[in-house]
Amino acid sequence: MLPEPDPDADLLDVRDLRIEFRTRDGVSKAVNGVSFTVQPGQTRAILGESGCGKSVTAQAVMGILDSPPAHVTGGEVRYRGVDVLTLPDEERRRIRGNHIAMVFQDALSALNPVFTVGFQIGEQFRKHLGMSRTDARRRAVELMDQVRIPAARQRVNDFPHQFSGGMRQRVMIAMALALDPDVLIADEPTTALDVTVQAQIMSLLGELLRERQMGLVLITHDMGVVADVADHISVMYAGRIVEEAPVRDIYARPAHPYTKALLESIPRVDVKGQQLNVIKGLPPSPTRVPRGCAFHPRCRYARDVCRQDPPPLYGVDSRRTSACHFWEEVVSARSEGSEPRSREQDEGVGGE
């Protein structure tokens, strides 16, 4: 029996989540003590380079990690006060889709190529609500209309390959919204889309968030995407959140060298004829994370203490934290032109 959710508790509360992959090559610690909360109508962006643990965190929240080799070794994932990690599989399935849903990164791989999109959207209603095929198809058309797929009634019987990348992503959003979840996790929802379609998808997600008062967890590596839609940002590196702050604080005064470097590497249309800044080197392998601060081999502020002692999460102020021994120096060394800019300003794209 599913425990009764507490309406006064946080919508989603992830506490000290730890995940490792046990393989023949060794133990890979993919997530090391990740914590964040999401409230109704709020967007939490989890941002970082590929391999930092963003998608693994999302899969753990959804309960879809392959185990083995993945193992959740610590922490809690609370939905309205209920720790879903402790629930039996059958009860977790009742939360998945009904209360927490996910838009996957690659729509073409996530959709089944041999079934129509209407069948795949309608499956949610048939399996969870016991609807007939006719009623499920009708609801699928309604959802396709809501996510602005043109001629939904005619296209409901089309197959995934007959849609463009942006339209397939809208189909994935429709599937995730089918059961009216409280939390939507969007894992790189604009990957492989051109900038105009990216802006349309993000505008759609923002509109649905406001209409439904959901909580949105947006996983991305693109700081241009989150500028317009996120309320709070958690920056991840090597399986750990290294900075957490409201979106305007992140852009105006980054307090971690990694965040600062990410901001400086964003291409800008108002800065021409200059070499684009890059972060030298690569993120560490989860099986060989450097001693001390994991970012120190790539960090311009690194000193001996960074190579020896892992930094705790320092309180920069009442609203933000930074895992950097020298966060005060980072904040004071403000980057030129680091104020928040809209996606339209940075990339010259229009809305939907």
Residue 347 has pLDDT above 70, yes or no: no
Q: At what angle do helices 133-146 and 165-177 cross, to 10 degrees?
A: 120
One domain, residues 146 and 188: no
C-alpha dist (Å) from residue 217 to 35, 107, 258: 13, 18, 21
What average pLDDT does the chain have? 89
The predicted model gives 217-223 an average pLDDT of: 90
One domain, residues 192 and 302: yes
Confirm whether 152 is domain-assigned. yes
Report d(CA 163, CA 168) in Å as an integer.
6
pLDDT at 343: 40
Tokens 């209920």: give the residue: 82
Q: Which residues constitute the domain of residue 222? A: 37-61+183-196+205-352
Range name among 244-253, 312-321, 331-340 with the lowest pLDDT average: 331-340
One domain, residues 258 and 345: yes
One domain, residues 110 and 233: no
Q: What is the pTM of this model?
A: 0.88
Q: Into how many domains does the chain fold? A: 2
pLDDT at 334: 57
Confirm whether 20 is domain-assigned. no
Number of H helices, E strands in the chain: 14, 12
Residue 4 binned pLDDT confidence (cut-offs 50, 70, 90):
confident
pLDDT at 47: 95
One domain, residues 336 and 209: yes
Confirm whether 25 is domain-assigned. no
* Burial degree of 336 (CB within 10 A; 0-12, 13-18, 19+): exposed
One domain, residues 191 and 323: yes
Range name among 228-232, 260-264, 324-328, 333-337 with the lowest pLDDT average: 333-337
One domain, residues 219 and 313: yes
Residue 327's CATH number: 3.40.50.300
Looking at the DSSP bridge assignments, the partners of residue 72 are: 19
Q: Which residues contact 114 (CB under 8 A, 6 or more apart)?
A: 159
Per the CB < 8 A criterion, the answer to whether 144 and 156 are in contact is: yes
pLDDT digits (tens, 9 = 90+) for 144-192: 999 999 999 999 999 999 999 999 999 999 999 999 999 999 999 887 7
Residue 108 has pLDDT above 70, yes or no: yes
One domain, residues 277 and 231: yes
One domain, residues 239 and 322: yes
Confirm whether 79 is domain-assigned. no
One domain, residues 145 and 258: no
pLDDT at 345: 39
